[in-house]
Amino acid sequence: MCGIAGFCNFEQDFTKERPRWTDALVAMREAIAHRGSDQTGEYLQPHLGFAHTRLSIRDIAGGAQPMVRNAGDAVYAIVYNGEVYNTDELKPDLERAGYRFETTTDTEVILYAYMEYGPDFVTRLNGIFAFAIWDGQQQCLLLYRDRLGVKPFFYTIQNGTLIFGSELKALFAHPAVTPEADENSFREVFGIGPARTPGCGVFKGIHELHPASCAIFSRDGFSESVYWELKAQEHQDSYAQTVEKVSYLVRDAITRQMVADVPVCSFLSGGIDSSIVTAVASQVLAKSGGKLNTFSFDFAGNDENFHANAFQPERDRPYVDKMLTAYDLNHTYLECDEYKLVDLLYDAVRAKDLPGMTDIDGSLLYFCKLVKQHNKVALTGECADEIFGGYPWFYRSELLYADGFPWSSDLSARTALLNMETLQRLDLGSYSRAKYEESLAMMPHLNGENAEQKRRREVSYLNIRWFMQTLLDRMDRTSMACGLEARVPFADHRIVEYLYNVPWEMKYQNGVEKALLRDACGGLLPPELMHRKKSPYPKTYSPQYEKLLVQRVTAMLQDPNAPVMALLDCGKTEQFLQSPKDYGKPWFGQLMAGPQMLAYILQVNDWMQRYHLELR
């Protein structure tokens, strides 16, 4: 993985002020240097500037970017972040077409594939990616993002200049871009966050390229189009055939994503998703005599402080131990204490440029930093719950039929601390409702489905379009902040598009959540683990963590310069500090409860302070 940045303006010749615009490219690249510091490069032409910072995973010596190739009188260039897992299948046809490869990177395959097949070539790629291609023949810049939005791609257009980057901070390093917020920025933060509306960069005037989209910027302007979308169609496979197909797709995706010129490790939580990934990866490595590094995460004191609830019924550690008896793994247990966790709240804002999933982001940031000391590439179990139906809102009727986003349908906790002026001005309920209805209007329907089937498809679609994107966003920013490449085999588009049409009764056979995945991967895991109940990413249950949050929020309330205070009701906030924190009633997902609301307010304040933002 890497970091990309650049700009394009057809009415300006950047080479007339080469030192100035080269410095701008360097500044943009340095802002995201954490995404890969193995190699850097800039490319400046009359209407174009590209910058790249590289985390070398394939062809360590020869994969420098920006990469430039010529065809006749035309020049083609690319900056690319990601991994394409089917390059070995694409390369032979390109060689037969006359292309001569100078490297073994997937970057060169992508560029030649564009040159050979044109803009629609992207449908041939299996991978996670965000890249920009300059087409000197057509005099246009093309921007691409992978189907599920695993890799980020932000952009803005300022006075005829398109400015883009892997992260928001890359854009802010350009001299024409200043971080600004408007009402919709705060509607996103308080009404939608830590999710984001697809395509929204939260800051005023900043956008994100939609997943599965290609944008073209030329003298004619900017246009964005979709090259892949989910299709609703009748599922005709029997359950046995479905199990067989899923079994193949999951194993194939994991095996494909083992490709690298550096060792690959895995996150092993003790849940079935990461355990399946670990099991297959371990088997692949064992064939060549290798041994897989694995890492599990927990919090200091959870032995004493953990409290089971409907969302988190049990701890993960015993199940990690079961995997260690089943497979020969080189395992490391990682822990984070509550003192680090509070400080990491601010590091997480810096990594994401936005408020996020508070201590969940912070802890993952910390753990990724520790993992990076051992490995550059990690496989994760993300995305299985969204496509196999593992979350409670897939099967608990009060959540399934909630009137709104099922992971965030009750806005009362979000609005509890805001003052009346802010509430009236932002009208968060209307904003959230509009986004919800817009998404449902875009959903591919299947004629003939009854009300229950339609609702289950709606929840599935919303999870893929919204909730999964939030977790992928979290994983990218926390891992890449440490120069660690995190891969997500369950986000293989072939799995997602197949599972989208599998009936719920197959996914939930005999009332068992993710029964289809369990049956498809039978024999890979110890029986006790294969049949364990879903338990999400761990979080701290330390009362000391709550005390530290209360101390930080209390200090913020007494700070006349704290920008978030203009939005809060002091009385309600002080009262909230005295109330018990309910871990069993999250206001977002399964993990964001009372303590996380305090942490979120701290993050919002830090975000506003860091970027000099206010609700004007």
Intra-chain end-to-end CA distance of the chain, in Å: 38
Catalogue the E-assigned strands of 46-194: 48-54, 67-71, 74-84, 127-135, 140-145, 154-158, 161-165
- Picking from 14, 69, 190, the residue whose alpha carbon sits closest to that of residue 600 is 190
Tokens, residue 320: 């990690």
| Diameter of the chain measured on Cα atoms | 72
Cβ atoms of 518 and 531 closer than 8 Å:
yes
Cβ atoms of 348 and 356 closer than 8 Å:
yes
**How far apart, in whole angstroms, are the C-alpha atoms of residue 540 and residue 300?**
8
Q: What letter represents residue 554's amino acid?
A: T
**How far apart, in whole angstroms, are the C-alpha atoms of residue 596 and residue 576?**
12
**How far apart, in whole angstroms, are the C-alpha atoms of residue 459 and residue 468?**
12
**How far apart, in whole angstroms, are the C-alpha atoms of residue 197 and residue 303?**
38
Instruction: Report residue 436 CA to chain centroid gap.
Output: 20
Up-side HSE of residue 174: CA atoms within 13 Å toward CB?
Answer: 26
**How far apart, in whole angstroms, are the C-alpha atoms of residue 351 and residue 353?**
6
CB neighbours of 328 closer than 8 A, spacing ≥ 6?
Answer: 282, 286, 291
CB neighbours of 77 closer than 8 A, spacing ≥ 6?
Answer: 43, 45, 48, 50, 66, 67, 68, 69, 111, 133, 134, 136
**How far apart, in whole angstroms, are the C-alpha atoms of residue 411 and residue 390?**
23
**How far apart, in whole angstroms, are the C-alpha atoms of residue 414 and residue 187?**
11
**For the CA atoms of 170, 174, 179, 185, what is the dihedral angle to 10 degrees?**
-60
Active-site pick, 2, 265, 336, 368: 2
**Cα–Cα separations (whole angstroms), residue 211 to 1, 97, 109, 328:** 17, 30, 21, 38
Burial 314-331 (b: 16+ CB within 10 A, else e): ebbbebbebbeebbebeb
Up-side HSE of residue 2: CA atoms within 13 Å toward CB?
Answer: 32
Cβ atoms of 337 and 320 closer than 8 Å:
no
Annotated active-site residue 2? The verdict is yes
- Residues with a catalytic annotation lie at 2
